[in-house]
Amino acid sequence: MKCLQASGSDDNYPKFQKENAEVLGIASTSRFSQLAFAEFAKIQYPLLSGGTDVTTIHKVMRAYGVFDEARLVAKRSYVIIDKEGIIRYYDIRPTNTEKDLLTTEQLLNAVKKINQGG
């Protein structure tokens, strides 16, 4: 199971792993920018990148319907994909402000529900 754009700090990563879930981050920045951010934020989970070609990531974001064309960034989104590659949870938030973000507990509950066949 994979959670795209999971909430919270890297401290929460083990909680998702405990539920047999993988966390992936995606942003429309260059690989260099992502690596710098990951080092700064001490992120351990994988960050998807198109290398120096950010248009590759833009294509992925478009495919998931999470690309903000006007700003060339990802909308804050939560996507949970099961082991068969089927999207089981999909939520695009109205803004990137803290009040609109899902909590780690909300996402973990969604993962648990999917793991239980719900």
In a domain, 117, yes or no: no
In a domain, 26, yes or no: yes
pLDDT per residue, tens digit, the chain (118 aa), is: 444 444 445 678 888 889 888 888 887 888 888 888 888 877 888 888 777 777 888 898 899 999 999 988 888 889 988 888 889 999 999 888 888 888 888 999 999 999 898 7
In a domain, 25, yes or no: yes
Count of structural domains, the chain: 1
The CATH number of the domain where 34 resides is what?
Answer: 3.40.30.10
In a domain, 113, yes or no: no
Spatial neighbors of 57 by CB under 8 A, at least 6 apart, are 26, 27, 28, 48, 49, 50
Closest CA relative to residue 80, chosen from 114, 49, 50: 114
Structural domain span for residue 51? 2-107
In a domain, 36, yes or no: yes
Closest CA relative to residue 16, chosen from 26, 34, 4: 4
